Amino acid sequence: MVKEKKIEQLDNSAVKLTITVEQDAVRSEYDTLLKEYARNAQIKGFRKGKVPPAVLERKFGESIRHEASQKSLENALRSVFDEIEEKPLPYCTPTLTDEPDFSMESDMTFAVTYDVFPEITIGEYDGIQVEEPQVSISKDDEKRELEQLQEQNAVVVEKENAAIKDGHIVTLNYQELNEDGTPTENTRREDFTFTVGSGYNLYQLDSDIAGLKKGDSKKITKTFAEDYEHSELAGQTRTIEVEITAVKEKDLPAIDDELAQDVSEKYETIDDLKKDIRNRLEKNLETRLRQIKVDQVMDTLVENSTIPVPASMLDAELENSWHRFVHQFRAAEDQVLQLLQMQGKTKDELLEEWRPAAEKNLKRSLITQKLIELEKIEVSDDELEEELKEQAEGSGTSLEELKEYFTKQGMMPYLKQDLQERKAQDALLAKAKIKKGKKSGYLDVVQPNQ
């Protein structure tokens, strides 16, 4: 059926496939369709199945030729894709670039373009220089973690006659007022709760309600800066009426054995809890330092390698990012789109902002897969079992329960892939030249964006 095929390499891991289909195959497809029309066509003046071919061709000829052309094209593509290595990516639909000139008197030639899996030329990865920050865990770091647990185990108590101050938990009703003092439509909100001093409220009323007590009301007029974080209020003057309905305060527990036991039954004394905090901080730091080194090695390798990223692959990655973004809101997609519109943005603009990071992540992923191939990295059943055991211990479930869950959810291949990628990263770090970096604080390294 296929008389000739030719593949041309294009930019960004795309190809152009040109196929010539034999005249006899095209004619056969046309004749087959004509017979089907003859069996099923109902034309006035003729019994079903008895319409002469010449009549059918006059009435349906163009439609039959178009359908025969499409079927010949599709059959040829399926046949060629079964033979060649340059198959289209799963999320890429071949695009017809040269329309076939359908004629039963000659061969039919057409061309399609599509993306294929990229051919990666990986750069030298032996001896890449990496700088590791020098971090020590201080007593203040341990104290901060302990105070967070103290905060989490605090009891909130009502303060009936207390004047509001920083740290109080306040519940209030509020609404905006028009210039004539009437309520502004759709601005009333009841039972809004926040911690004074946190700034976690639309109008940043923290200092404006200081000194008020439960039951007090107040009208507050504020002019917001031109660069105010909530754009709908930027440069605006608004009058807000507030009514305090509750004032509460956190009663912090003492840092003692009782607190440790409240945090978890596995602790008997406060020293047990402190020891566990120290171990957790050390583990978090170890994980973060490893990631910093991996990032440096991968960034260098991306720069030194040739990684053509197919457009369809990048588009699919961006669409996956969009779906994750929508999922975070726990709302319908149209609601998220409306929210973006209120902020003066569109989905396309957001995807364009994400594009550089998405392309970088794809290049890193492609390099990692190439490394797995080059280094012949495998994951044994014992290694898989050990990983499951660690995850089971960390999540407080039994090994058998976790195995059953991973198997039912079809997650075992993903776990194996994750282990392969980690082993590939370890192979990179083993070949890297690691030197001491500058001294840094724990939070600066572990939580750099906070």
Torsion of CA 335, 341, 343, 348, to 10 degrees: 100
Spatial distance between the Cα atoms of 32 and 38, rounded to a whole number of angstroms: 10
179-200 as b/e, with b when 16 or more CB fall inside 10 Å?
Answer: eeeeeeeeeeeeeeebbbeeee
Cα separations in angstroms, 91 against 27, 120, 193, 296, 313:
32, 20, 47, 31, 7
Spatial distance between the Cα atoms of 100 and 110, rounded to a whole number of angstroms: 5
Amino acid identity of residue 310, one-letter, is: P
Summarize pLDDT for 372-387 with one digit per residue, the tens: 999 999 999 999 999 9
Domains along the chain with CATH numbers:
2-115 (3.30.70.1050), 129-135+260-446 (1.10.3120.10), 155-251 (3.10.50.40)
pLDDT of residue 112: 95
Question: Is the distance from CB of 253 to CB of 154 less than 8 angstroms?
Answer: yes
Spatial distance between the Cα atoms of 47 and 81, rounded to a whole number of angstroms: 43
Q: How far apart are the first and last CA of the chain?
A: 64
DSSP for 236-293 reads: -EEEEEEEEEEEEEEEPPPSSHHHHHHH-TT-SSHHHHHHHHHHHHHHHHHHHHHHHH
Give the mean pLDDT of 115-133.
94
pLDDT of residue 55: 76
User: Is the pLDDT score of 450 beyond 70?
Assistant: no
Give the confidence band of 105 by pLDDT, cuts at 50, 70, 90.
confident
Summarize pLDDT for 44-101 with one digit per residue, the tens: 767 676 777 777 777 777 888 888 888 999 999 999 999 999 999 999 999 998 777 7
pLDDT of residue 57: 76
